[in-house]
Structure 1
Amino acid sequence: MEDDSLSSTQRADIIAEALPFIQSLHGRTLVVKIGGQAVADAALKSGFARDVALLQLVGIHLVLVHGGGPNIPVFLDRVRPDAGADATTRDVIEMVLGELNQELVALINRHGGKAVGLSGLDGPLVQAVPLGSSEDSGADHGRVSKVDPEIITLLQSRNFSPVIMPIAAGPDGEAIFVDADDVASRLAQALGAEKLVVMTDEPGILDDEGRPLADLSVAEALVLVGEGGLLSADQKVRLGAIVDALQSGVGSAHLTDARLPSALLLEILSSEGSGTLIHSRRKSHFGADTLKYFGDN
């Protein structure tokens, strides 16, 4: 529903605020990992797809990687929970990921964007080293060993945004499930992305008093990854993947609360944002420098 409390001038100011961000990111590649409630809640999912279409239409190249959200454990509980057969578990996870992938692609296209669904098996885009069966699902999982972004480059040349599910090719071409954060990080590195945006069900990195940290350097992030207690195991893995991307030349990374409507737009096209910005001190912050330029001229 439209917010009638905003005047025409206020609406115009909101649109104008986005202009320098659009100019600074036009033609640049952003890798976005989406998971959690944003791929489970229908309204958030549709809003995300609309935001992707908008960003694509203003000339920003998006590469999307999605996890399974909270749906996979639910489905596994319903389908032969006592069977423990890898084939059954693998089929269920592939079904959930495939249906979600198709839904995201359809939503983006419905909102006027151009999206194509992929898995790491296409190309192959993502290759992985097997690590055995996951304790959580019982399905084979692995560690990303190589990415080949050629198929993404081809799609970008035709203004398509790839939507990638975290399934990689094993040594013999078999399907292996991999961590979506790892896939997003490795693709951001291979594509020389300007930004890596990781959307999760968290308000960002919290300090020891439970308050979100607005800004972190790579050095500070490394300290948090190495410390015990402050971050959960999942958070350490996620932050570690982000640090890897930044140390390989990605301009900045954003941990964004996917539970907020239009979180992606707020993070990319405004100075407000949500969550935690992680940046490398070795490379100037592209968005901030651009805003300073427009402010000084």
Structure 2
Amino acid sequence: MNTPVMARVLRSTAGFALRNKTRVASFVSQRCLSTSPVLQDDGEKKSFATRQVQFIKSIFDKSDFGPYEIQKESHSSQLSDKENVYEIQFHAVKPEDMEEYLKQFSKFQELMHEKKTGAHLIGSFTVEIGDQDEAIHIWEYKGGYPVLNNATEIYRTDQDFINFRTSRNKMLRYRKNQILLPFNFWPAPVPREGKNIYEMRSYTLKPGSMIEWSNCWAKGLRYRQDNDEVAVCGLFTDLGDLFTVHHMWGYKDLQTRKETREMAWSKPGWDECVAYTVPLIRQMKSRILIPTPFSPVQ
């Protein structure tokens, strides 16, 4: 690309960014620096694209929207006003042991209640579409971290739980957990009855973009409440894989899911929600879940 053409492209890019509030400086930097001709400038070799990128970045630095706003308080305090914390456990079960695993976990969740740990099972699922032979359990700790700490202490020291872990661990290929907080705009998860399927959509976001994500979805959530779709829970990690978000949706079946998602695109505003949030995503994953017989959410 010759110099005059490149200059027009970069100036146009900067103008588009200012008008539409998009962040293109890093994109220009990555794409142009490796392809632009090197020109002589005051006896030193300096990339034309470099000077243009510096100009664009100076505009962003002086603009109100900037790359990210400087925050005066933590994301968790801004995005979640509830005292409860949640734990999601991911257990990869050996295929031959899944039935026995579920039997033992059913007894385990009853034991958690009997021992007065303060942990409440919100939902328990097996993965139907996604990572096969995976079980996912969502726990709620009403009262926050003090209750979680108490439950952990009992779980680690009580002999009944020690025996359970000894038996359970032989049936697992791997396991991990996350501690999460609920978005303040998302409905609280509640027990559900009937025959349903659930989709857990998991997103790994760019660091620093959680507030922007929340602002978009606080508006976008209203486009996804038709055709018997249920927004079960919206959680973001506080410990574990950071900048991870889980949205869980309930449907009657896969056909209902298909129809509901297509209906959202007919509503003005949903396309903007997608357009603004997709650039924030580094990785995303979808799982279709089936409730276990003992899950409060059915």
More strand by share: 2
Fold match (TM-score > 0.5): no
Larger radius of gyration: 2
TM-score (norm 2): 0.27
